[in-house]
């Protein structure tokens, strides 16, 4: 509707899908509209950046304001002037908008109205004009009244990606669902296609994977998952490329913009919400940033509309709020207050600055969590409430990657293990297996721990006292008992497989089910940089996450502390294999961020785990909680044995707590193939 159209004004028409006006007009007419009980769905306001705030009817269900903002103009969301203005206006009975169309449809309807070439402008044009939306009556009349929009982005225009990268092997389609508690049927569906390990075949000689559970990659490279359709389309066709030279593996560098809406907007009701931010002034409203679209297209919508479309978003908001509230109590307020507000409410001109590093954190949070969801795993978020340093750069993978040659070696070793099948369950051994009568798991520990094995397989230097080896048994809830814990003891957990005849929900199958709790990769300080914090409460003894990375063969003298390789990302094996490590320096999951603490909250446990006996058997590393870890608390481990810690001031000063006197054998190291 256009108020100044001949013969029509707000006295004769009392509702409209879209109102268009200048900010001056808005100031003059608003009270009149309110008195009339005028109902509207969208407002397009020219030069909106000149006003301090656009006020929307507080109890309106679906009305919104489209603010046409020239680039680099900041909307001040919480100024005193704004507050007093809203208070003055709210004394008048507010407008209750009629629910004519859902917000996203209204948006794409508006921007896809480019029938005559006058709308929309490209983002560059928008930046160079003070009147970015050249809307007029003829333009508006071309808007499709029933809210239908041009066809979705031409999917054929997007080249299909070769399936030889780390992330595309975890595709779950264009899913938008966060599994909270999975049903057995859902777990079973995921398990059928679940990847258990990735073979790295640099030569490219392997053409076919022996099982869909064991994908082959030629190079360690994370790319945008195919299932994130719009992110891939944005990468291919989007009108804006981030100017930073930094490439984040698996994260798009190119995005759709407002200028692309007419061509690629499609049915925005089906767009995928990437992140949501609360509105501090209107608790019923949120800002939504969409996947594959730049931050300037972030949109204000009612919570009702958003939750109806994407119910999981409600949980995201609640979890973020809870995590940030915990951070405010755990950290010095002055260090985190601004950043916490930014995480919840945006602000600081973020909506007008798509280059802002903040948006890269949002991309990583969504895309890595997407990979997790495809595997039935909870979220991983990236947050920095302390400064605006760049987020970490690495290739994300929820499974280990191993060279073909090393996997073959394990398969040979497994022939020796075949004799385990002949072993019976040790009498009197406690097992939490659902099927105690048929569970043979403890025989496996006995095989690895047999007396003659050290003589056969381990160099003298690696022989250890049998008595320090512990076969850790979970209780009926899958928790380990850490009574009398000594970080230097060697521990092993043997999990059940299909050979035991138990279900995937058996308490002795923790690691193979994958990351159990949502976690946040959180900027700790300038020395430790990123660490890991709990997004959900974790109980003492519970499995938290697997430590994934690349399985590397190392010489015995390379294990632990060496000065020409950053071994702080290595997790070692002590019982199953003393010659390999899992290193997460280049590729891994959230566990790679755990910082060292001299009194840690979690520990590594070497784990014999495979879901099916037909899966390859490689030693794996579990992370278990040594104590209850509340939301917002740090998940730390002890990187080094006591005898490896330094006696003098060299290496790296330990910053696990303010007064720690220890020095860690971590030496400054620059990798040749540093991803920078
Ligand atoms: C496995 S990485 C952990 C992730 C890393 N902080 C990051 O941002 O990628 C280990 C590195 O974290 C830092 N770090 C972890 N714990 C530390 C501690 N207690 N004191 C000092 N630095 C620590 C050291 O720089 C170490 O080399």
* Any atom of ligand 1 within 6 Å of the Cβ of 528: yes
Sequence-ordered list of residues with C-beta below 8 angstroms from that of 241, at least 6 positions apart, any chain: 253, 254, 255
Distant-in-sequence, close-in-space partners of 528: CB < 8 Å, separation ≥ 6: 595, 655
The preferred substitution site among 521, 590, 651, 666 for testing ligand 1, maximizing ligand atoms within 8 Å of CB, is 666
Looking from the CA of residue 524, the nearest atom of ligand 1 is: 6
List, in sequence order, every beta strand (DSSP E) within 260-360: 273-278, 285-290, 299-302
Res 207: pLDDT: 75
The stretches in the chain having pLDDT less than 50 are 1-8, 10, 48-182, 426, 459, 461, 466, 672-676
Is the CB of residue 526 below 6 angstroms from any atom belonging to ligand 1? Answer: no
Q: Are 540 and 431 found together in one domain? A: yes
Element (H, E) at 405: helix 404-417
78 and 195 in a single domain? The answer is no
Work out how many domains the chain is built from and give that number: 3
Interval between CA 141 and ligand 1 midpoint (Å): 60
**Residue 349 lies inside a defined structural domain of this protein:** yes
How far apart are alpha carbons 113 and 217 in whole angstroms?
Answer: 44
User: Are 304 and 64 contacting, i.e. CB atoms less than 8 angstroms apart?
Assistant: no
Query: In testing the pocket of ligand 1, which one of 529, 593, 636, 663 has its CB within 8 Å of the most ligand atoms?
Result: 529
Beta bridge pairs of residue 497: none
In the prediction, which pLDDT does 306 show? Answer: 93
Token digits for 408? Answer: 């073959």
Element (H, E) at 534: strand 529-534
Q: Clarify whether residues 371 and 234 are in a common domain.
A: yes
Ligand 1 pocket: which of 528, 532, 584, 636 to mutate (most atoms within 8 A of CB):
528
Ligand 1 and 444: CB distance under 6 A:
no
Q: Is 595 in the pocket of ligand 1 (CB under 6 A)?
A: yes
* Residue 219 near ligand 1, beta carbon < 6 Å: no
What the block records as the tokens of 177 is 């669902």
Biggest CA-to-CA distance, the chain: 99
Q: In terms of Cα–Cα distance, which of 213, 268, 269, 252 is closest to 367? A: 252
The CA-atom distances, in angstroms, between 229 and each of 104, 224, 235, 259, 398 are 18, 9, 10, 19, 21
As a whole number, the mean pLDDT across the chain is: 73
Classify each residue of 283-293 as buried b or exposed e, where b means 16 or more C-beta atoms within 10 Å of its C-beta.
eebbbbbbbbb
What is the distance between the alpha carbons of residues 389 and 126, in angstroms, rounded to a whole number?
Answer: 29
Residues 300 and 371 in one domain: yes
What integer pLDDT is reported at residue 499 of this predicted model? Answer: 85
Ligand 1 atom closest to Cα of 656? Answer: 19
- Between the CA of 337 and the centroid of ligand 1 the distance, in Å, is 24
CB of 655 closer than 6 angstroms to any ligand 1 atom: yes
One domain for residues 420 and 569: yes
* Residue 408 sits in the same domain as residue 370: no
Residue 41 lies in a domain: yes
Position 147 in a domain = no
For the Cβ of 394 lying below 6 angstroms from any atom of ligand 1, the answer is no
The ligand 1 atom nearest the CA atom of 652: 21
Q: Are residue 328 and residue 217 in the same domain, yes or no?
A: yes
Q: Is residue 649 part of a domain?
A: no
Of 321, 343, 378, the residue at which a domain comes to its end is 378
pLDDT of the residue at 425 = 53
Domain that holds residue 109: 15-141
Helices (H), strands (E): how many in the chain?
Answer: 15, 28
Q: In what order do the strands lie in the sheet with 490-494?
A: 469-472, 490-494, 602-608, 620-625, 543-546
Distance from residue 571's CA to the centre of ligand 1 (Å): 14
Q: In angstroms, rounded to a whole number, what is the distance separating the alpha carbons of residues 148 and 145?
A: 8
Is 416 found in the same domain as 371? no
665 lies in some domain: no
> Closest Cα to atom 27, ligand 1: which residue?
568
- Give the CB-side neighbour count of residue 51, counting CA atoms within 13 A: 22
391 alpha carbon to ligand 1 midpoint, in Å? 14
What local confidence, expressed as pLDDT, does residue 288 receive?
94
Query: Is there an atom of ligand 1 within 6 Å of 264 CB?
Result: no
One domain, residues 451 and 332: no
Atom of ligand 1 nearest to the CA of 531: 6
Task: Copy the structure tokens of residue 110.
Answer: 């508006």
Between the CA of 604 and the centroid of ligand 1 the distance, in Å, is 16
Q: Which of 194, 363, 192, 339 is nearest to 274 (CA)?
A: 363
Distance from Cα 510 to the centre of ligand 1, integer Å = 27
For the Cβ of 547 lying below 6 angstroms from any atom of ligand 1, the answer is no
What is the ipTM score, two decimals? Answer: 0.99
DSSP 344-374: HH--TTGGG-TT-HHHHHHHHHHHHHHHHHH
Integer Cα distance of 617 and 191 in angstroms = 17
Say what the pLDDT of residue 191 is: 63
Please count the other Cβ atoms lying within 10 Å of the Cβ belonging to residue 231: 30
Distance of CA 378 from the midpoint of ligand 1 (Å): 24
Taking the centre of ligand 1 as the mean of its atom positions, its distance from the CA of residue 528, in whole angstroms, is 5
pLDDT for 563:
55
Which ligand 1 atom is nearest residue 593's CA? 4
According to DSSP, residue 119 is labeled S
Are 343 and 432 part of one and the same domain? Answer: no
Decide if 659 is inside a domain: no
Which atom of ligand 1 is nearest to 585's Cα? 1
CATH number, domain at 572? 2.170.270.10
Q: Whose CA is nearest to atom 26 of ligand 1?
A: 568
**Does 673 reside within a domain?**
no
565 lines ligand 1 (CB under 6 A): no
Closest ligand 1 atom to residue 598 Cα is 19
CA distances from 668 to 427, 563, 596, 671 (A): 51, 8, 16, 10
d(CA 663, ligand 1 centre) in Å: 13
Contact 55, 89 (CB under 8 A): yes
From ligand 1's centre to the CA of 657, what distance in Å? 13
Q: How far apart are CA 182 and CA 29, in angstroms?
A: 52
151 belongs to a structural domain: no
Is the domain of 408 the same as that of 347? no
Residues 173 and 291 in one domain: yes
Ligand 1 centre distance from Cα of residue 634 (Å): 13
Q: What does the pLDDT read at residue 391?
A: 95
């Amino acid at each position: 509707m256009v108020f100044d159209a001949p013969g029509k004004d707000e006295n004769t028409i009392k509702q409209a899908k879209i109102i268009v006006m200048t900010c001056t007009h808005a100031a003059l007419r608003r009270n009149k509209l309110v008195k009339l009980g005028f109902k509207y769905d969208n407002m397009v306001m020219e030069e909106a950046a000149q006003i301090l705030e656009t006020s929307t009817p507080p109890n309106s269900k679906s009305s919104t304001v489209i603010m046409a903002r020239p680039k680099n103009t900041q909307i001040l969301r919480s100024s005193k002037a704004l507050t007093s203005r809203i208070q003055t206006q709210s004394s008048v009975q507010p407008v209750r908008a009629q629910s004519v169309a859902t917000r996203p449809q209204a948006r794409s309807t508006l921007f896809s109205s480019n029938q005559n070439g006058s709308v929309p402008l490209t983002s560059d044009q928008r930046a160079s004009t003070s009147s970015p939306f050249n809307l007029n009556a003829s333009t508006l009349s071309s808007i499709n009244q029933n809210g239908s929009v041009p066809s979705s982005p031409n999917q054929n225009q997007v080249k299909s990606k070769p399936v030889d990268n780390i992330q595309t092997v975890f595709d779950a389609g264009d899913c938008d669902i966060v599994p909270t508690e999975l049903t057995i049927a859902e777990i079973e569906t995921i398990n059928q296609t679940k990847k258990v390990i990735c073979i790295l075949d640099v030569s490219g000689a392997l053409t076919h994977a022996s099982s869909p559970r064991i994908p082959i990659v030629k190079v360690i490279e994370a790319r945008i998952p195919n299932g994130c359709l719009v992110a891939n389309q944005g990468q291919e066709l989007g009108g804006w490329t981030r100017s930073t030279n930094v490439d984040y593996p698996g994260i798009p560098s190119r995005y759709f913009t407002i200028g692309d809406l007419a061509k690629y907007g499609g049915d925005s009701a089906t767009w995928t919400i990437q992140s949501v931010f609360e509105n501090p002034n209107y608790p019923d409203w949120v800002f939504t940033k969409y996947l594959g679209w730049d931050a300037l297209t972030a949109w204000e919508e009612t919570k009702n509309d958003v939750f109806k479309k994407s119910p999981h978003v409600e949980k995201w908001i609640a979890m973020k709020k809870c995590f940030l509230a915990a951070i405010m109590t755990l950290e010095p307020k002055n260090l985190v207050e601004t950043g916490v507000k930014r995480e919840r409410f945006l602000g600081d001109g973020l909506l007008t600055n798509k280059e802002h590093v903040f948006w890269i954190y949002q991309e990583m949070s969504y895309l890595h969590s997407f990979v997790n969801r495809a595997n039935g795993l909870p979220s991983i978020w990236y947050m920095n409430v302390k400064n605006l340093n760049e987020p970490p750069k690495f290739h994300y993978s929820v499974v280990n990657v191993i060279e073909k040659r090393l996997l073959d070696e394990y398969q040979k070793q497994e022939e020796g293990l075949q004799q385990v099948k002949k072993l019976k369950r040790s009498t009197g051994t406690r097992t939490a297996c659902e099927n105690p009568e048929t569970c043979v798991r403890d025989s496996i520990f006995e095989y690895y721990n047999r007396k003659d094995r050290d003589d056969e397989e381990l160099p003298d230097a690696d022989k250890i006292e049998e008595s320090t080896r512990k076969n850790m048994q979970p209780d009926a809830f899958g928790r380990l008992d850490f009574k009398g814990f000594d970080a230097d003891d060697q521990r092993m957990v043997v999990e059940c497989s299909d050979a035991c005849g138990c279900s995937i929900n058996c308490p002795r199958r923790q690691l193979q089910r994958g990351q159990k709790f949502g976690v946040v990769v959180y900027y700790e300080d300038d020395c430790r940089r990123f660490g890991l914090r709990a997004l959900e409460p974790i109980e003492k003894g519970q499995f938290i996450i697997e430590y994934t990375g690349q399985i590397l063969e190392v010489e015995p003298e390379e294990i632990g502390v060496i000065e020409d390789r950053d071994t702080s990302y290595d997790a070692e094996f002590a019982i199953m294999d003393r010659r390999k490590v899992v290193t997460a320096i280049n590729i891994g999951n959230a566990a790679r961020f755990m910082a060292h603490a001299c009194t840690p909250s979690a520990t590594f446990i070497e784990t014999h785990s495979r879901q099916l006996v037909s899966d390859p058997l490689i030693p794996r590393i579990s992370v278990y909680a040594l104590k209850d870890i509340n939301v917002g608390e740090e998940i730390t481990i002890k990187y080094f044995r006591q005898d490896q810690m330094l006696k003098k001031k060299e290496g790296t000063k330990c910053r696990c707590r303010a007064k720690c006197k220890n020095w860690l054998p971590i030496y400054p190291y620059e990798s040749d193939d540093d991803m920078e």
